[in-house]
């Protein structure tokens, strides 16, 4: 092995990995280039667009700005890990489809990851909470109405189901 490489262990979408990487590799590079998980998108690379958002130990983080070394031993969920093993989409994925919450879809993986982490932490957000919490995920084509409706729909359905 290249002596400048280091071995890290991590779980991605429930699978355990042991990967030899160069220390300068970002988490985004690891996911896309080493693990072939290209659902996570690369866009601005300066932390402002949110396209690269993944969940690290339940927290939504921007993978372009984290070194892969920093997630050694951690659990990562990327957009590929949202659907169940048999391919059933998550409620948020379903809702994004139902509400046509995307056009080109480039921002969608990031938006799904941010909203998934948000609903974990804050199960009953208001529209204002969602708008504020999702500000770090930019969209160049659809605008910011449909995804809000999609998320609030999931919140509403959860409340109904809990009654």
Least Å distance between CB 33 and other proteins? 4
Which 52-71 positions form the footprint of ligand FES (CB under 6 A)? 52, 62, 64
Residue 105 binding ligand FES, by CB under 6 A: yes
> What are the backbone angles phi and psi of residue 43, rounded to the nearest 5°?
-135, -90
Q: What number of chain residues touch ligand FES (CB under 6 A)?
A: 22
Residue 39 binding ligand FES, by CB under 6 A: no
| Residue selected from 61, 68, 79, 102 as contacting ligand FES according to rule CB under 6 A | 102
- Burial (Cβ within 10 Å: 0-12, 13-18, ≥19) of residue 89: middle
> What are the backbone angles phi and psi of residue 119, rounded to the nearest 5°?
-70, -25
Residue 104 binding ligand FES, by CB under 6 A: yes
How far apart CA 18 and CA 7 sit, in angstroms, is 7
Residue 50 binding ligand FES, by CB under 6 A: yes
How far apart CA 135 and CA 147 sit, in angstroms, is 12
Chain residues binding ligand FES by CB under 6 A are: 42-45, 47-52, 62, 64, 102-107, 139-142
């Amino acid at each position: 092995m290249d002596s400048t490489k280091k071995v890290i262990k991590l779980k991605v979408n429930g699978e355990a990995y042991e990967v030899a990487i160069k220390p300068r590799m970002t988490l985004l590079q690891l996911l896309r280039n080493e693990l072939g998980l290209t659902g996570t998108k690369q866009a601005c690379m300066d932390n402002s667009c949110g396209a690269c958002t993944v969940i690290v130990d339940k927290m939504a983080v921007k993978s372009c700005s984290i070194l892969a070394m920093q997630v050694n031993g951690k659990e990562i969920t990327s957009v590929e890990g949202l659907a169940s093993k048999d391919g059933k989409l998550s409620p948020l994925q379903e809702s994004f489809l139902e509400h046509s919450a995307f056009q080109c879809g480039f921002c969608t993986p990031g938006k799904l990851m941010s909203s998934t982490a948000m609903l974990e932490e804050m199960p009953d957000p208001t529209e204002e909470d969602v708008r504020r919490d999702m500000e770090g995920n930019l969209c160049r084509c659809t605008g910011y109405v449909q995804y809000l409706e999609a998320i609030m729909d999931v919140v509403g359905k959860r409340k109904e189901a809990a009654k």
